[in-house]
Structure 1
Amino acid sequence: MASPFPIPLNALRAIEIVARRGALAPAADELGVTIGAVSQHLRRAEERLGMDLFERTAAGLRPTPALKAVLPQLTAGFTALQDGLGSLRGSDEAVLNLTVGSVFASRWLIWRINKFTMLHPDIEVRLNVTGAILDISRPDIDCGIRYGQGQWPGVNAELVGGGAYQPVCAPPVARLLKHPDDLARVPVIRDETTMLSWDAWRAEVGMDPAILLTGPTYSDASLAFDAAISEQGVLMAADMMSADAVSDGRLVRPFAHAVEGPQGYWLVTAKGRRESRKLRAFRDWLRQEVPASTRGYVHQSRG
């Protein structure tokens, strides 16, 4: 009887990792072998299947259309195997490993995570704060919060919030702003990492499109928030992220006009991964805490 697996499981795993990451080194690290061994895995698999699995390009290895089509199944399959092994050993329901970006961590989560731990004292939350989009199928990551439009391959994404956005600034800066065109008179903080559109907001409020916005530039979104609080200028920010600073008066929303963008904060989990009790608890808490964190906040105008 022919084997249902014409190539070894390690080779299949190497194929899945390289297809997802576009390089041999990540597969070598995860499998504990040399880059040369990974390369041999790929070559022998292609020989046994009688087809090319990768295109060799100057930018790295790219999966062929045939491999790309089945990659979600491979990733989900290995994720399910990892979860099955975890169940066999007794999964660690006492630790929730969460990866988040710096703004979500510093402007929203860090001020509220104690509420979750008070509700679930048996669950320890471990944060991996990074601007990189980590592989959510890794066995050491349970879930993540990502900002974008929710269309990432290999993940289940549930919208948490954060679609509404508008300019914010410190009260002394706000006193100079009577009309959106007055933004020409103050510095406008540029966040190089943002997905928020000044153009969309300007168009909605009828701001003169010829007005040039200038000001300091930051490559870190959390620092851009601190710059706005320290009176360096006006920042475009998601209402969800600015809500606390607006509530306590460090920031105001000078024009009280938010627009709804296509992006937001999403809870993401690996496709094929079983839903653990700790993940259900965290999801349920987010569904309650996010609306509660903005409910009752009023749009503050000039201080």
Structure 2
Amino acid sequence: MGNRFSIPLNALRAIELVARHGALAPAAEELGVTTGAVSQHLRRAEERLGVELFARTAQGLRPLPVLTDMLPQLSAGFLALEEALAGLTGAQDGVLNVTVGSVFASRWLIWRVAKFNAARPGLELRLDVSGAIRDLNRNDIDCAIRFGDGDWPGVDTFPIGGTDYQPVCSPEFLARYPMPLDLGAVPVIADQTTMLDWALWLKAARLDPQTKLSGPVYSDASLAFDAAISGQGLLLAADMMSADAVSDGRLARPFAQPVTGKRGYFLATAKGRRLSRKLQSFRDWLEQEVPDSVDGYLSQIRHRA
């Protein structure tokens, strides 16, 4: 029986890595070879296939459409090989590596890690807390929790919640500025990283969407939450993220009028990645833990399961 691959697996891996990174050096580092060796892999593969795979540009190597179309399958294939090898050795079966933003980690997930550990003994949750979008094709990351519309290239997504949002503030702030609040005359905290839309909420609350808002400005969402808790102003926050602080009295919802936006939190995995037992376990736990009252996303998860 002849060789089923017209080019060696090492060359295929080099193609996949360079296509994802857009450069030879990261691929060479991951493969443990020189950039010259990676370049030779690409050249010989293109010669054997009779197809040009990359455009050589001043900004680096850019995959051509023929490769772009096949890249998700290549990436998923190598992920499957890595997972199969890990399954043979039992490596990382008891560890789930999750990359997550600071707000979700600090305002929701960190308070429930002990509960997860109790519900899923033998499975350790390891968090990579970062505002950066990590490459989910890496073998040291199992999944991500991201906020947005869920339509990201190269990933599969499962909705979690967090689409409802409204202003929150501390009880002390409400004591200083009793209702009805004039948003144009009270401090409003500006979170420079937020994807929540003040104009949409103002319109839903039958207030002027052109109201000029001013107050403290923060470039870190977690600090913006702390600023609201400390009484510095109103903050627009997802109900899911403010729920714990509201329930224990650190925050209040003065208008009690949420609006449903187009964005929410999603569990994201590399496109085509097999849903391992530990990933399925984490997804099931999220479905159980996020209250049904947060929004209607959970029913979608149940229908897709």
TM-score normalised by length of structure 2: 0.88
Q: 1:178 aligned to 2:171?
A: no
- Residue of structure 2 in register with 1:102 after alignment: 102
Q: 1:291 aligned to 2:259?
A: no
Which amino acid letter does the alignment assign opposite residue 95 of structure 1?
V
Which amino acid letter does the alignment assign opposite residue 282 of structure 2?
F
- Residue of structure 2 in register with 1:261 after alignment: 261
- Residue of structure 2 in register with 1:142 after alignment: 142
Identity within the alignment, %? 65
Which amino acid letter does the alignment assign opposite residue 228 of structure 2?
A
- Aligned residues of 1:136 and 1:270 also touching (Cα < 8 A): yes
**CA distance in structure 1 between the partners assigned to 2:8 and 2:118 by the alignment:** 47
- Which stretch has the larger CA shift, 99-108 or 87-96? 87-96
CA pair 36-169 structure 1, distance change in 2 beyond 3 A: farther
- After superposition, the C-alpha distances for 1:157-196 in whole angstroms (9 at most, x for unaligned) are 111111111111112323426346x111122212122111
**CA distance in structure 2 between the partners assigned to 1:149 and 1:24 by the alignment:** 32
**CA distance in structure 2 between the partners assigned to 1:62 and 1:177 by the alignment:** 58
CA pair 210-277 structure 1, distance change in 2 beyond 3 A: closer
CA pair 109-194 structure 1, distance change in 2 beyond 3 A: same
Which amino acid letter does the alignment assign opposite residue 165 of structure 2?
Y
CA pair 37-179 structure 1, distance change in 2 beyond 3 A: farther
- Residue of structure 2 in register with 1:195 after alignment: 195
**CA distance in structure 2 between the partners assigned to 1:206 and 1:53 by the alignment:** 55
- Which stretch has the larger CA shift, 66-75 or 130-139? 130-139
- Which stretch has the larger CA shift, 171-180 or 273-282? 171-180
Deviating above 4 A after TM superposition, structure 1's stretches of 4 or more consecutive aligned residues are: 292-295
Unaligned runs of 5+ in 2: 296-305
- Residue of structure 2 in register with 1:48 after alignment: 48
- Aligned residues of 1:160 and 1:287 also touching (Cα < 8 A): yes
**CA distance in structure 1 between the partners assigned to 2:292 and 2:204 by the alignment:** 28
Matches within 5 A, 1:215-230: 215-230=215-230
- Residue of structure 2 in register with 1:299 after alignment: none
- Which stretch has the larger CA shift, 120-129 or 272-281? 272-281
- Which stretch has the larger CA shift, 3-12 or 67-76? 3-12
Unaligned runs of 5+ in 1: 296-303
**CA distance in structure 2 between the partners assigned to 1:52 and 1:164 by the alignment:** 48
**Which secondary structure state, in structure 2, belongs to the residue aligned with residue 281 of structure 1?**
helix
**CA distance in structure 1 between the partners assigned to 2:164 and 2:36 by the alignment:** 49
**Which secondary structure state, in structure 2, belongs to the residue aligned with residue 99 of structure 1?**
strand
**CA distance in structure 1 between the partners assigned to 2:189 and 2:284 by the alignment:** 35
**CA distance in structure 1 between the partners assigned to 2:21 and 2:262 by the alignment:** 27
- After superposition, the C-alpha distances for 1:39-73 in whole angstroms (9 at most, x for unaligned) are 33223322332332223344433221111111111
- After superposition, the C-alpha distances for 1:101-139 in whole angstroms (9 at most, x for unaligned) are 111110001111111111222122111111111122222
**CA distance in structure 2 between the partners assigned to 1:60 and 1:186 by the alignment:** 50
Q: 1:273 aligned to 2:273?
A: yes
- Aligned residues of 1:83 and 1:273 also touching (Cα < 8 A): no
**CA distance in structure 1 between the partners assigned to 2:196 and 2:57 by the alignment:** 33
**CA distance in structure 1 between the partners assigned to 2:225 and 2:254 by the alignment:** 16
- Which stretch has the larger CA shift, 94-103 or 47-56? 47-56
Which amino acid letter does the alignment assign opposite residue 248 of structure 1?
D
- After superposition, the C-alpha distances for 1:195-217 in whole angstroms (9 at most, x for unaligned) are 11112112222222332112222
**Which secondary structure state, in structure 1, belongs to the residue aligned with residue 184 of structure 2?**
helix
**Which secondary structure state, in structure 1, belongs to the residue aligned with residue 157 of structure 2?**
strand
CA pair 293-286 structure 1, distance change in 2 beyond 3 A: farther
- Aligned residues of 2:98 and 2:125 also touching (Cα < 8 A): yes
- Residue of structure 1 in register with 2:301 after alignment: none
CA pair 191-39 structure 1, distance change in 2 beyond 3 A: farther
TM-score normalised by length of structure 1: 0.89
- Aligned residues of 1:177 and 1:254 also touching (Cα < 8 A): no
- After superposition, the C-alpha distances for 1:215-260 in whole angstroms (9 at most, x for unaligned) are 2222211111111111121111110000011111111111111111
